[in-house]
């Protein structure tokens, strides 16, 4: 491993599977969670359900950032970041100058939406929606660069990529990066109006899929240069071996039908990581459950990996925790790190009735073995933004998460 490599030394998460990374991994191995009705009496929609974080797992604080009351999204982001920092074994002095880069789609929207039916929550002062990154910076004690990334559902994949670039450029030794999103009635309503919500559950690659289903949560990682991690004796979970971007420039919501740009992005990521397609052992797809996305991504995977697709298990993450919006890319990286470390790809339960147009390998009846050098993560979003990241094992195969 080169000293300039970017390594992942800390992990943190809150999801519908519970609070903490061990709970997240145990929940994936058990087949994932299930959607439930949102606790919002004003969500007058055909199927107002999400993969909700259990009540006991939503942190009570921080209650505010400056004068701004914080909803569940920023609070979960702060808690996941603290877990990642503790997991990395970082001292306060190292965190003081850390960069903080967070992908956020809806931010503090639920607090704003709560104002609409009656009196404003927390008074009448102006309250920005984009407070999640500030809340995370305060939670870990960082006075370093603070950046919020809004590339829709690919936001946190971009956030990790940007944080890695900042470390390579010498702008920071350490970065806390990831994504966090909570509830939003407006987001649910918008997807219902687009007829993009599945009334049953999130069923990526399933023949009966009818759209996506959202989930709440936050996923955070600590990134460092390999040299910095070695200097302080830090254990390494995985190496972020490549991160590539592109834009379809095709349509505001629909993917470009040929998958040309997502295919090219995956190929560039493989070249940057120095890996042949056959050395990718598992893949975490974007896989939203929408008809167009799943078919387009499946065809792109076949174009890149060829017959290796028949041996390449997909970790069907959104089928287990829902579509976590701005946090989706970071959750995919977290799941990829854990799959690589434990050499297992969890299987979603119930199993997928695979669409014949989606020629991909989805584990059934239990986890599939990871047999190879790397894991690829894909994250796509409205506006045609695409990201592909590649993870490889750290020294000794990386650390175990129990």
Residue 16 annotated to the active site: no
Residue 202 annotated to the active site: no
Options 112, 237, 323, 342, the catalytic residue: 323
Residue 358 annotated to the active site: no
> Whole-angstrom distance between the N-terminal and C-terminal Cα of the chain?
25
- Report the distance separating Cα 160 and Cα 149, nearest Å: 10
Long-range pairs of 119-126 with CB within 8 A, sequence gap ≥ 24: 121/69, 122/64, 122/67, 122/68, 122/69, 125/67
Percent of the chain as helix, strand, coil, to the nearest 5: 35, 25, 40
The values of phi and psi at residue 383, to 5°, are 85, 0
Q: Is the dihedral of CA 69, 74, 78, 83 positive or negative?
A: positive
- Report the distance separating Cα 222 and Cα 149, nearest Å: 17
- Report the distance separating Cα 236 and Cα 270, nearest Å: 22
The values of phi and psi at residue 72, to 5°, are -65, -35
Options 228, 237, 286, 342, the catalytic residue: 286
Burial profile 68-91: b = 16 or more Cβ within 10 angstroms, e = fewer: bbbbbbbbbbbbbbbbbbebbebe
Options 16, 153, 202, 309, the catalytic residue: 153
Catalytic residue set: 153, 286, 323
């Amino acid at each position: 491993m080169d000293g300039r490599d970017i390594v992942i030394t800390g992990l943190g998460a809150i999801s519908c599977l519970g609070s903490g990374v061990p709970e997240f991994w145990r929940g994936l191995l058990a087949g994932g969670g299930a959607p439930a009705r949102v606790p919002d009496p004003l969500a007058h929609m055909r199927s107002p359900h999400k993969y909700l974080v259990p009540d006991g797992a939503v942190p009570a604080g921080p209650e505010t950032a400056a004068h701004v009351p914080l909803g569940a999204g920023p609070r979960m982001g702060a808690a996941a970041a603290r877990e990642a920092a503790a997991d990395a074994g970082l001292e306060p002095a190292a965190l003081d100058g850390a960069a903080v880069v967070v992908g956020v789609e809806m931010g503090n929207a639920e607090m704003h939406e709560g104002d609409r039916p009656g009196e404003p929550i927390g008074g009448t002062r102006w309250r920005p929606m984009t407070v999640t990154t500030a809340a995370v910076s305060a939670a870990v004690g960082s006075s370093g660069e603070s950046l919020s990334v809004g590339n829709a559902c690919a936001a946190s994949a971009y956030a990790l990529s940007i944080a890695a670039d900042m470390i390579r450029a010498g702008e920071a030794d350490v970065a806390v990066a990831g994504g966090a999103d909570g509830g939003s009635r407006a987001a649910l309503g918008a997807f219902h109006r687009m007829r993009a919500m599945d009334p049953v559950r999130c069923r990526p690659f399933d023949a009966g899929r009818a759209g996506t289903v959202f989930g709440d949560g936050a996923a955070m990682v600590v990134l460092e240069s390999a040299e910095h991690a070695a200097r302080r004796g830090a254990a390494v979970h995985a190496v972020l071996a490549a991160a590539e971007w592109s834009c379809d420039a095709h349509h505001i919501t629909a993917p470009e039908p040929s998958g040309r740009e997502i295919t090219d992005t995956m190929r560039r990521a493989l070249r940057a990581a120095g890996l042949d397609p056959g050395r990718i052992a598992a893949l975490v797809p974007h896989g939203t459950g929408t008809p167009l996305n799943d078919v387009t991504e499946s065809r792109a995977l076949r174009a890149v990996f060829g017959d290796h697709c028949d041996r390449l298990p997909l970790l069907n993450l959104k089928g287990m925790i829902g579509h976590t919006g701005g946090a989706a890319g970071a959750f995919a990286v977290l799941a990829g790190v854990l799959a690589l470390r434990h050499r297992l790809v969890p299987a979603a339960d119930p199993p997928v009735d695979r669409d014949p147009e989606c020629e991909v390998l989805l584990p059934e009846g239990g986890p599939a073995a990871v047999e190879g050098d790397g894991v690829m993560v894909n994250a796509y979003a409205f506006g045609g933004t695409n990201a592909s990241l590649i993870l490889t094992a750290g020294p000794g195969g990386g650390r175990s998460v129990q």
